[in-house]
Structure 1
Amino acid sequence: MPALAITDLWAFVIAVIVFLAIPGPGTFALLTGTSKGGVRGGYATLAGLVLGDQVLMWLAVAGVAALLKAHPAVFHAVQYAGAAYLVWIGIGLLRAKEGAGTGFIPMQPGHWFRQGFLITVLNPKAIVFYMAFFPLFIDPARDPGLATFAVMALLIAFITLLYCTGIIFIGDALARRLRDNSRFGNWMQRAAGVFLIGFGIRLGTQ
């Protein structure tokens, strides 16, 4: 883009899509919010994920990644908090009563928003990732300025919205088909719990 310091816009867009396609706790949170709260719950979760992502991106731009690298204790404190939160959610799914994971459970959208936001913002590695990711598409001979980073952040949010909208509607359709199959729903709930516990342990031990 001539007015900005972005070197290859299409490569940037493709890279964002590829990273979105890699399953992670955010994807799981989105599917959980959709399965239990319908499309409304899915979009509430998505709003939390996007807001958390924007917070991390702008913290990265502000140079917080350098601070975290210079103070490992701060980095690990946030890392362990995020890992503990994922494990706590996973244990909650494993301890849920039979049938609690099937069908649509009335939940306030704010619950899903908060969960999506915390899952995203409590992962300090994302800050370091953005610090490494942004320079790949910025011309070092030009001053990027805040406008360049703002466009990149908005593009990531827009692409995330489009991509996750597909996940929300596919997840909603699947949940409607499976809501009467309590045995399968209970099995999926426990599998999801194990996944989150494992992911949390991995995050906390890396």
Structure 2
Amino acid sequence: MLGVTDYSAFVIAFIILLAIPGPGNFALITSTGKGGIKGGLAATFGVIFGDQVLLWLAVAGVAALLNTYPAAFHLVQWLGAAYLAWLGARMLLAKPGTAPLRQMKPNSYLRQTLMITLLNPKAIVFYMAFFPLFVDPVRHQGLVTFAFMAVTIAVLTFLYGLIAVLLTHFLAERLRASPKVSTALEKLAGACLLGFGIKLAVLR
């Protein structure tokens, strides 16, 4: 289909990858808990926009550039680690009832998840390795094939985000009645983001 080998396998593989816990997933859940459905959907679009930038950079060969110049790769890696650690630390140190993200506007959630996504240089390398697995070398149509894959990724990410946002919002409504549980989950999310930041920093 438009130069993509086994399109159904491509879709299934990416859905599985979306479901793997990561900083993007935790940021999406946190944004929904703080900003409701609007905040969660804004965060989802932040992930989508960030992924689109990274996958097209991968297509353009940026991954090869980062591999050629390790210093540039590690600089972006450290920036991403610092940003995640900063977000996590804010949540861990926030006093109960004064959550730092509670009054953010939807576009702020979009910018936050966009930055989390863009500051993950591993994602560029991932797309560089992932795309060739499903590109038919005989029927490949150049940019048309990559554009088709990019649109598929955007649609799948939106559907996944929509489901995650609705589920998170449904559960959050019931957790708000218990401030202690809500605070504990917020601290857990902050610890996870901080942990991902540390993991990204030490990953080589």
TM-score range, shorter chain: over 0.9
SS across alignment from 1:16? helix
Matched to 1:170, the amino acid is: L
Match of 2:194 among 184, 190, 197: 197
Matched to 1:90, the amino acid is: G
* Residue of structure 1 equivalent to 2:95: 97
Deviates more, 1:104-113 or 1:33-42: 104-113
Match of 1:119 among 89, 112, 116: 116
* Residue of structure 2 equivalent to 1:44: 42
Q: Is residue 138–residue 144 contact of structure 1 (8 Å, CA) maintained in 2?
A: no
* Residue of structure 2 equivalent to 1:76: 74
SS across alignment from 1:50? helix
* Residue of structure 2 equivalent to 1:186: 183
Cα deviation code 1:136-183 (max 9, x no counterpart): 001123443100000000000001111111100000011111112111
C-alpha distance in 2 between matches for 1:191 and 1:46? 21
* Residue of structure 2 equivalent to 1:131: 128
* Residue of structure 1 equivalent to 2:21: 23
Give the percent of matched residue pairs that are identical in Structure 1 and Structure 2.
Answer: 55
2:59 is the counterpart of 1:61: yes
Q: CA deviation at 1:186?
A: 1.2
Q: Is residue 29–residue 45 contact of structure 1 (8 Å, CA) maintained in 2?
A: yes
Q: Aligned residue pairs: how many?
A: 203
Q: CA deviation at 1:199?
A: 1.0
* Residue of structure 2 equivalent to 1:86: 84
SS across alignment from 1:76? helix
* Structure 2: gaps (5+ residues): none
C-alpha distance in 2 between matches for 1:129 and 1:196? 20
Q: Is residue 91–residue 193 contact of structure 1 (8 Å, CA) maintained in 2?
A: yes
C-alpha distance in 2 between matches for 1:193 and 1:107? 17
SS across alignment from 1:6? coil
SS across alignment from 1:43? helix
* Residue of structure 2 equivalent to 1:7: 5
C-alpha distance in 2 between matches for 1:122 and 1:164? 20
Matched to 2:61, the amino acid is: G
SS across alignment from 1:128? helix
2:166 is the counterpart of 1:169: yes
C-alpha distance in 1 between matches for 2:103 and 2:20? 29
* Structure 1: gaps (5+ residues): none
